[in-house]
A and B are shown apart, each in its own frame.
Chain A
Amino acid sequence: AQTVTQSQPEMSVQEAETVTLSCTYDTSESDYYLFWYKQPPSRQMILVIRQEAYKQQNATENRFSVNFQKAAKSFSLKISDSQLGDAAMYFCAYNQGGSEKLVFGKGTKLTVNP
């Protein structure tokens, strides 16, 4: 079974600084997708960024970028120029080949200090 591990229960960053959240996963599949979701206090899960495993290029969405290391099964999220609104729980998730199920890590709580 696929598993997703987030080894940092909590992280903090100063406003305008850069922070990296870690995620590792375990799978024997070659066709899969990886995601980072943000869950603010409003509770709604918001998709931050998505990476297809077959793409070598790391995904980027404005201030958010990933470092996808397929051989190491690592998928870290870098947030640049952190803003107070970035404070939230961040979840790493795995989806096998477009199947219906997302497998989530346990999350990392990010605090942004002014």
Chain B
Amino acid sequence: EAGVTQSPTHLIKTRGQQATLRCSPISGHTSVYWYQQALGLGLQFLLWYDEGEERNRGNFPPRFSGRQFPNYSSELNVNALELEDSALYLCASSLRPSNTEAFFGQGTRLTVV
């Protein structure tokens, strides 16, 4: 069974541009979570999608947004990129909307120059 897959693996963008990151959950999982892992800051909760709806978001500005598609895959969009957005973005999925059994992907390394 395939795990959580994220694409692209690496992404380099210029300040002010937009970045789109993609996540495919484990088959049958309906909940998708996004986390930002900036250097030295640990993982910060970004967004939670379940059944196609945004259910909760962390303490991030509105230029961080996303969506979940009917097949439960998800997209994270970051607009007006800033240098401090450079980080590893991790996606996780779970069978139920409960993060006690979340499985993570390998992340997308976003570098803003």
Contact = CB atoms under 8 A, between A and B. Distances in A.
Chain B, interface SS category: strand
Contacts of A50: 100
A59 interface: no
Interface in B60-107: 88, 90, 92, 97-100, 102-107
> Interface range on chain A: under 10, 10 to 19, 20 to 34, or 35 or more?
20 to 34
Interface of B: 31, 33, 35, 40-45, 48, 50, 55-56, 58, 88, 90, 92, 97-100, 102-107, 109
Contact of A106 (B42, B45, B88, B97): B42
B58 A101 contact: yes
Interface of A: 33, 37, 42-47, 50, 91, 93, 95, 98-107
B106 A100 contact: no
B58 A43 contact: no
B56 A45 contact: no
B105 A100 contact: no
Given A91-B42, A106-B41, A101 B104 contact: no
Contacts of B92: 45
B42 A42 contact: no
B105 A44 contact: yes
